Amino acid sequence: MSELIVGRRYAKALFAAAKEKGTILEVEQDLLNVLDLLEQNRDFRTVLEHPNISAEAKSDLLKRAFEGRVSEIVLNTLLLTVAKGRETILVPMIRAYQAYTNEELGRAQAVVYSPFPLSDSEKAAIAEQFGKLTNKTITLTNEVKPELIGGIQVRIGDKLYDGSLAGKLKSMERSLTQNAM
What percent of the chain clears pLDDT 70, i.e. is strictly above it?
A: 99
- Per residue in 22-61, pLDDT tens? 999 999 999 999 999 999 999 999 999 999 999 999 999 9
Give the pLDDT confidence score for residue 181 in this predicted structure: 67
Residue 92 near residue 8, CB atoms below 8 Å: yes
CA distances to 3, 41, 82, 161 from 53, in Å: 20, 17, 11, 45
Task: Say which residue, 1 or 124, is predicted with more confidence.
Answer: 124
- Name the amino acid, one letter, at 49: E
Task: Say which residue, 49 or 171, is predicted with more confidence.
Answer: 49
- pLDDT over 80 at 122, yes or no: yes
Q: Is 61 exposed, middle or buried (0-12, 13-18, 19+ CB in 10 A)?
A: middle
